[in-house]
Amino acid sequence: MKTETPRQDPTDAPGAEFALRDSGPEELGRLNSRFGWSLDAHELKAVQDHFRSLRREPTRAEIESIAQTWSEHCKHKSFTSPICYQEGKTTRRIKNLLSETVMEATRKLKKPWCLSVFEDNAGVVAFDKKWALAYKVETHNHPCVLEPYGGAETGVGGVVRDVLGVGLGAKPVLNTDVFCFCPPDYAKPLPEGILHPRRTMTGVVAGVRDYGNRMGIPTAAGALWFDEAFRFNPLVFVGTVGLMPVSAVRKKVLPRDLIVAIGGRTGRDGIHGATFSSAAIDESSSIAAVQIGHAIQEKRVLDALLRSRDAGLFRAVTDCGAGGFSSAVGEMAERSGSKGGARVELDRALLKTTDLEPWEIWLSESQERMVLAVPPENLPALSVIMEREGVEFCVLGEFTDSGRLEVAIAGRPIVDLDLAFLHKGLPRRERRAVWNPPAPAKASARKTDRALHRSRCPEILHWILSHPNVCSREWIIRQYDHEVQAGTVIKPLQGLHHDGPGDACVMWPMAITGDPEYFRGFAVAHGLNPAFGKLDPYAMAMACVDEALGNLACVGADVTHAALLDNFCWGDPEDPAALGALVRAAQGCRDAALAFQAPFISGKDSFHNVFTDEKGKKTSIPGTLLISAIAPVPDIRQALTMDVKAPGNHIYLMGWTSDELGGSLYEAWSGQPAGNAPLVEPHSAREALWSLSAAAQKGLIATAHNLSEGGLAVAAAEMAIAGDISMHIDLDEVLRTKGVADPVTILFSESPSRFLLEIAPDKERAFLQAMKGVPLARIGATIANPVLRVTGLDGCPIIEESLHDLRHSWRETLPRLLDGVPCDDGRRS
């Protein structure tokens, strides 16, 4: 970002005006880059036209307010503007991509348990008759490039405030974290100013840890992905689930309600965070755009806010995130009366330093602040609670019904904007998007490769288990307090020695609902696979939804009531190929949501994850989609883990195995293109998934594990490692599509919608009854002997590896990469 600090400029003086009306396009562009507004030429023209019609010049505070409100962060303009989309030889126009894909699925599904979608700070679904769950996932990529620790901390702080600011406020009960990094052992040179991925990773993990732990919110679900393509632009997704009474889902603002800001004071930290997110990172990017977090301050705000909510002291709340007061007050003002409006006296704001310019106070993104709409008669009661909890507050002004956003300081107006223009004046510009499917790989070469690799299956298995995208995440998970609030009944690490990779976590909010005889809980899981996206973003989106929902089913959640969240992290929206990939991915989201009958309830996008080096060469991340899924667990006493439970049980594989090794770990191992990305057949997958979910809730399944990265071989190894009880599987029994006739494909294909299940013999009949019509094959049994045994199509053994060695391969990677020490097994064997 090219923000110089324009502190000495005469236009900084309060009330001073720009000569915007008479500027030519070039002069406008110069002002834009000089002040870091990140507006494009069309938007600048719209601002200019607006002030020409008003026959006056804007103040700095006004134009900054507009820039923040119209930023990518607040308006999602790349996702909602018209697109001319060309796929192969056909071209069509898309009016609003978001509304025609992700949101369309939600509209069509019309689920009555969706209480608030795409309108508030988080999506809200019903938990039961009395309680509702709010879930929001944010990205904080750009700040984490510059300052990993601070960026991650404020990312968590921000998403927690989103949940505190939904409806009348929800109590955060779970944090989630998903990261995409460059491998920490990256050894090639990096340009100046770009941190080494190892430092980025340790900083981000520490930031998420310190903020989440101090707030007392368990961080218990997540995912991790490594690819060198993330070396300049790591991705940091942070999410929060909150629990709130159903009566607190709706907010309203009435004219004459007081605008009350609570929490932290306002300083110069984090100026221009929102507009910063609309810009690409380069060497001049300013660290002043990253805010500073203070978890305990936010904990105080949380305590005070929820106590005030329960006392019914305010009518609406929202968080001060990107854009600071300007966004928070601007958003709430829209809800006030019929026309909306707010009048603010900025001199009342509590400040960290006295030398702030008025526009800086208005725009600052200082952390830990919330804005409330308080009926005047409730102010004394509110102040009692704030005082006891040690939270500062100030009355900034009041909401009106004038249709205007009016801000003054020392009696002098600095903002007087028409709300309609501010929120609806953003000009929409059509962008071009192109999608050309890549040519498929040659089949004949693949066959000979796999025949050669047949004898190397054990080696491939060890390699994949120790791959950073598959290996144990224990190094990270143990640093998070994942059991605070005493509700994590299915933990992220599972099994006999608490080291197996769980498909999802299950939370039982008993400490909050207060009834130990009430066993309803909820589960959260993720799906992410940028490797599929490089081949086909549509297939990636389908696979991500399939994986996230499959993970939920594996812990006993009710997937017929699952809700989804999308997070798109993309490159430059002006690049037609990147935008074409986005269109494909969004269509995949829609089709998957409709087929699985799982609505999207919230989402977020982050563009411009592009790095420009000194020669002007651009490096973009691969388009990355994170799907987060949440579903109720009707009875947590029937929840499942993924560790093998006992010897002598049957092992079933559910689903068809096809030759789908494109984007797989096997492909990464062989270094040769291995074909197409797996494609979900969503309708049959949905039927099978619902049957599985129902059987799990009936207690017919001892263990379930979703097949994802690494395929069947890895899933079997993980289950055996976690249970310290092994299994024998026969590849000849596996259901496979035509043409699949070699063990390498069966073991390492990443075909979607497949599950490895352990069934106790006495439950087998009922299980098969419940799973009628589902593709299912008994492929083996659990064994006491601690050796993973796999026999091939000809009955000869292919893999015979001791659990001890497999566990070592799986556990040693992150400690070696991050601490530089071999892993301590944690046990003396």
Partner 1 sequence: MKVPKVLILRTAGTNCDVETATAFKLAGGDPVLVHVRELIGGKVRLFDYAVIAIPGGFSYGDDISAGRVLANELRGHVRDLRSFVRSGRPVIGICNGFQVLVKAGLLPQTPSGEQTASLTVNDSNRFESRWVRLRINLQSQSLFTRDLPEMIELPVAHGEGKFVVKSPKVLETLKKTRAILMQYVNEEGKFSSYPHNPNGSLFNIAAITNPEGNCLGIMPHPERYLTRYHHPNWTRQTFCKEGIGLEIFRNAVRFVKD
Q: Which of 77, 140, 272, 299 binds partner 1 (CB under 8 A)?
A: 299
Q: Which stretch binds partner 1 (CB under 8 A): 239-247, 507-515, 580-588, 591-599?
A: 507-515
**216 touches partner 1 by CB under 8 A:** yes
Q: Which of 50, 73, 453, 608 is catalytic?
A: 73
Catalytic residue among 42, 50, 76, 140: 140
Is position 489 an interface residue for partner 1 (rule: CB under 8 A)? yes
> Is residue 479 a contact residue for partner 1 (CB under 8 A)?
yes
- Residue pair 585/573 in contact by the 8 Å Cβ criterion: no
CB-nearer residue toward partner 1: 553 or 636: 636
Q: Are 585 and 78 in contact (CB under 8 A)?
A: no
Q: Does 512 bind partner 1 (CB under 8 A)?
A: yes
# residues contacting partner 1 (CB under 8 A)? 51
Query: Does the footprint of partner 1 cover residue 693 (CB under 8 A)?
Result: no
Rg, the chain, Cα only: 27
Q: Does 641 bind partner 1 (CB under 8 A)?
A: yes
Q: Pick the closer one to partner 1 by CB: 478 or 683.
A: 478
Joined together, the tokens standing for residue 798 give 């292919």
Determine how many CB atoms are found less than 10 A away from the CB of residue 648. 11
Closest listed residue to residue 726, CA positions, set 669, 825, 647: 647
Least spacing, CB of residue 271 vs partner 1, in Å:
25
Distance CA 348, CA 298 (A): 21
Q: Which residues of 663-675 are buried (b: 16+ CB within 10 A; e: fewer)?
A: bbbbbbbbeebbb
* Candidate segments 50-58, 210-218, 620-628, 778-786, binder of partner 1 by CB under 8 A: 210-218
**φ, ψ for residue 104, nearest 5 deg:** -60, -40
User: Looking at 175-183, 298-306, 524-532, 666-674, which segment touches partner 1 (CB under 8 A)?
Assistant: 298-306
End-to-end, the C-alpha distance of the chain in Å comes to 54
294 contributes a contact to partner 1 by CB under 8 A? yes
- Indicate the DSSP class of residue 463: H
Helix 25-35 vs helix 41-54: angle between axes, to the nearest 10 degrees? 110
Single out the residue of 389, 371, 403 nearest to residue 262, CA to CA.
Answer: 371
The dihedral through the CA atoms of 202, 203, 204, 207 has a sign that is positive
Binding flag, residue 645, partner 1 (CB under 8 A): yes
User: Sign of torsion, CA 685 690 691 695?
Assistant: positive
Q: Tell me which residue of 107, 40, 108, 105 sits closest to 75, measured CA to CA.
A: 40
The yes or no reply on residue 252 touching partner 1 (CB under 8 A) is no
CB of 760 to partner 1, least distance (A): 8
Count CA within 13 A, CB hemisphere, residue 628.
31
163 binds partner 1 (CB under 8 A): no
175 near partner 1 (CB under 8 A)? no
d(CA 256, CA 373): 9
Asked if 461 interacts with partner 1 (CB under 8 A), we say: no
Q: How many CB atoms lie within 10 A of CB 60?
A: 26
Quick one: tokens of 194? 């770009």
Q: Is residue 237 helix, strand or coil?
A: strand
**What is the Cα–Cα distance from 742 to 42, expressed in whole angstroms?**
57
Q: Does 494 bind partner 1 (CB under 8 A)?
A: yes
Residue number with CB closer to partner 1 (20 or 489): 489
Structure tokens belonging to residue 369: 């602040």
Which residue, 338, 325, 344, 346, is CA-closest to 402?
338
Does 384 sit near partner 1 (CB under 8 A)?
no
Q: Is 629 in the site for partner 1 (CB under 8 A)?
A: no
Q: Please, what is the minimum distance in Å from the beta carbon of residue 475 to partner 1?
A: 10
Nearer to partner 1, 179 or 669 (CB): 179
Q: How far is the CB of 293 from partner 1 (least distance, A)?
A: 11
Could you say which of 168, 215, 224, 244 contacts partner 1 (CB under 8 A)? 215
Assess 510 for contact with partner 1 (CB under 8 A): yes
Sign of the dihedral defined by the CA atoms of residues 192, 196, 201, 203, in that order: negative
Q: Does 429 bind partner 1 (CB under 8 A)?
A: no
Binding piece for partner 1, criterion CB under 8 A, among 130-138, 292-300, 459-467, 624-632: 292-300
User: Which tokens go with 364?
Assistant: 């600052």
Piece of 317-325, 503-511, 572-580, 733-741 that binds partner 1 (CB under 8 A): 503-511
702 binds partner 1 (CB under 8 A): yes
Which residue in the set 251, 268, 300, 584 belongs to the binding site for partner 1 (CB under 8 A)? 300
**Please, what is the minimum distance in Å from the beta carbon of residue 509 to partner 1?**
10
Give the whole-angstrom CA distance, residue 179 versus residue 103.
Answer: 25
Residue 306 interacts with partner 1 (CB under 8 A)? no
Q: Is 73 a catalytic residue?
A: yes
Widest distance between CA atoms in the chain = 88
Per CB under 8 A, the segment of 111-119, 139-147, 407-415, 474-482 that binds partner 1 is 474-482
* Residue 214 binds partner 1, judged by CB under 8 A: yes
Backbone dihedral region for residue 108 (phi beyond 0: left; psi -120 to 50: alpha; all else: beta): alpha
Give me the least distance between CB of 94 and partner 1, in Å please.
46
Beta strands 600-606 and 500-501: pairing type?
unpaired
**Which of the stretches 54-62, 250-258, 441-449, 484-492 binds partner 1 when contact is defined by CB under 8 A?**
484-492
- Report the interface residues with partner 1, using CB under 8 A: 209, 213-216, 294-296, 299-300, 303, 388-390, 477-486, 489-491, 493-496, 498, 508, 510-512, 514, 516, 636-637, 639-641, 643, 645-646, 702, 760, 824, 826, 828
Which residues are known to be catalytic?
Answer: 73, 140
